[in-house]
Amino acid sequence: MDGVLIVNKPAGMTSHDVVNQIRRIFHTKKVGHTGTLDPMATGVLIVLVGKACKILQFLKDTDKTYQAEIALGYSTDTMDVHGQILEQKPIDWNFDFEAVLETFLGEHQQLVPMTSAKKINGKKLMEYQRAGQKIEPIYQNINIYSIQPLDPEKLLFEVHCSSGTYVRSICDEFAKKTNNLGCMKSLVRTSVGRFDLDDAQTLEQIKTNPHFYSILSLLDHLPCIEIKDPQNVYHGKPLALDTDSDLVLLTHDQDPLSIYQKDASGLYRSKRGLW
């Protein structure tokens, strides 16, 4: 079984839990996902099955949209309401919700939460936190394309952002910008790239009637060249191809075969076999 599943992840499961469920459903170990979703969060999780696991680095649909709610009045060690309370103070409501959200627009560096799975020196940040080890704060470049209020009374907002954005950090920073303590109360990932909740299936639906998106459909941003004899590709030989693109997808009998990349000489060499 090869292809891409769009899963509507339930609350209370890690992304790895979802992967394990898919492995059991299809009796294969070749399953992965394209971006961790917090256990408390729900929504769109892209899961790669079989040969599709090989295309992760070439996916173009990586921007994400979330709906999140902010809790004010206290901070926690996980930047969400499920963590240990670190500090409390009265809420200062003297702010304009929409105006403060707009300050997040554009490119900037964001603090990576210690609860994240981002690896530093081969170790996840959450593992440093669990072991009580302190390390220097880690920042990464992100881009907020749009951010808008959905319910000012609940401090509910929607954000469209680049891959690698941590919404809990937005909630924490929002509180600091308004002279408050705060954390993330809820989180729903409503879309990843071209896929949204309308495309997503529950795990129960996947058990009974799974809908797979093909590898070709996820790589439709790459020029596609049909190869009559695949033997040179199987052996990784460089090819002269009639295209100017840096990356190309080679197919045989309309099946994905390999991704080739242009080298300095103008020839194309195998970047990733897909058989």
Q: What is the pLDDT of residues 202-245, one digit of tens each?
A: 999 999 999 999 999 999 999 999 999 999 999 989 999 999 99
Q: Is 266 helix (H, G, I), strand (E, B) or coil?
A: coil
- Mean predicted confidence (pLDDT) in 27-41: 93
Residues 152 and 113 in one domain: yes
Q: Is 129 helix (H, G, I), strand (E, B) or coil?
A: helix
Plot region of 196 (φ>0 → left; ψ -120 to 50 → alpha; else → beta): beta
Q: Is 20 helix (H, G, I), strand (E, B) or coil?
A: helix
- Mean predicted confidence (pLDDT) in 88-111: 96
Residues 77 and 120 in one domain: yes
Residues 68 and 121 in one domain: yes
Can you give the pLDDT at residue 166? 93
Residues 200 and 150 in one domain: no
The two structure tokens encoding residue 99: 């105006």
Residues 76 and 174 in one domain: yes
CATH of the domain at 168: 3.30.2350.10
Q: Which residues pair with 5 in a beta bridge?
A: 47
For residue 239, the number of C-alpha atoms closer than 13 Å in the C-beta half-sphere is 24
Selecting among 2, 17, 38, 242, the annotated active-site residue is 38
Identify the domain containing residue 11 by its residue range. 3-60+194-216
Number of domains in the chain: 3
Q: Which residues pair with 195 in a beta bridge?
A: 192
Check if 242 is active-site. no
- Mean predicted confidence (pLDDT) in 96-103: 98
Distance CA 226, CA 234 (A): 14
Residues 126 and 163 in one domain: yes
Task: Give DSSP secondary structure letters for 75-97.
Answer: EETTSBTTS-EEEE------S-H
**Predicted confidence (pLDDT) per residue in 158-175, tens digit:** 999 999 899 999 999 999
Q: Per 3-state DSSP, what percentage of the chain is helix, strand, and coil (rounded to 5)?
A: 20, 35, 40
Residues 31 and 97 in one domain: no
Residues 252 and 186 in one domain: no
Can you give the pLDDT at residue 118? 77
Can you give the pLDDT at residue 226? 95
**Is the predicted pLDDT of residue 117 greater than 80, yes or no?**
no
Residues 70 and 188 in one domain: yes
Q: How confident is the model at residue 119 (pLDDT cuts 50, 70, 90)?
A: confident
Average pLDDT, the chain: 94
Residue type, 119: K
Q: How confident is the model at residue 31 (pLDDT cuts 50, 70, 90)?
A: very high
Are 6 and 195 within 8 A, CB to CB? Answer: yes
Can you give the pLDDT at residue 114? 78
Residues 40 and 91 in one domain: no
CATH of the domain at 236: 2.30.130.10
Give pTM, 2 decimals: 0.90
Residues 262 and 246 in one domain: yes
Residues 68 and 181 in one domain: yes
Can you give the pLDDT at residue 273? 94
